[in-house]
Structure 1
């Protein structure tokens, strides 16, 4: 059974029982990824490192790659 099929069954069941509707699949995926990134940055600071920002590092790599031509 796919996640969509399970979601439809849970939605139907919630409507029959008067319960709150379940969240759609994938709704909180980005929030989970952000929380994981924030936790890794937090752990890096506790370990004595710096809280790096992966987007800035990726942009820096791209700029150095283009500047090397």
Structure 2
């Protein structure tokens, strides 16, 4: 059963029982992503790490390593 068919079945059941229809699949995806990002930033602050730009800095160090002088 696809997610669309499952959603249509849930709507039918809700109608038969007089309950409000459930939200469409994927409707709150961006809200979940924002909450996940906020939670990651909160955990970083608690661990005393920078809350923003950690991935960009790590990629920058990997892509552009500092050349050490040999002298």
Per the TM superposition, whether the score is higher than 0.5 is: yes
1:48-67 equivalences in 2 (<5 Å): 48-53=48-53, 57=56
Q: Report the CA distance between 1:16 and its aligned residue.
A: 1.2
Q: Which has the higher helix share?
A: 1
Partner of 2:42: 42
Q: Larger C-alpha radius of gyration, 1 or 2?
A: 2
Provide the aligned length of Structure 1 versus Structure 2: 56
**Runs of at least 4 residues off by over 3 Å:** none
Q: Report the CA distance between 1:7 and its aligned residue.
A: 0.4
| C-alpha distance in structure 2 between counterparts of 1:25 and 1:52, whole Å | 30
| C-alpha distance in structure 2 between counterparts of 1:2 and 1:53, whole Å | 38
Q: Report the CA distance between 1:15 and its aligned residue.
A: 0.8
Describe the SS at the equivalent of 2:45.
Answer: helix
Describe the SS at the equivalent of 1:42.
Answer: helix
Partner of 2:64: none
TM superposition score normalised by structure 1: 0.72
Q: Which runs of 5+ in 1 are unaligned?
A: 62-69
Partner of 1:13: 13
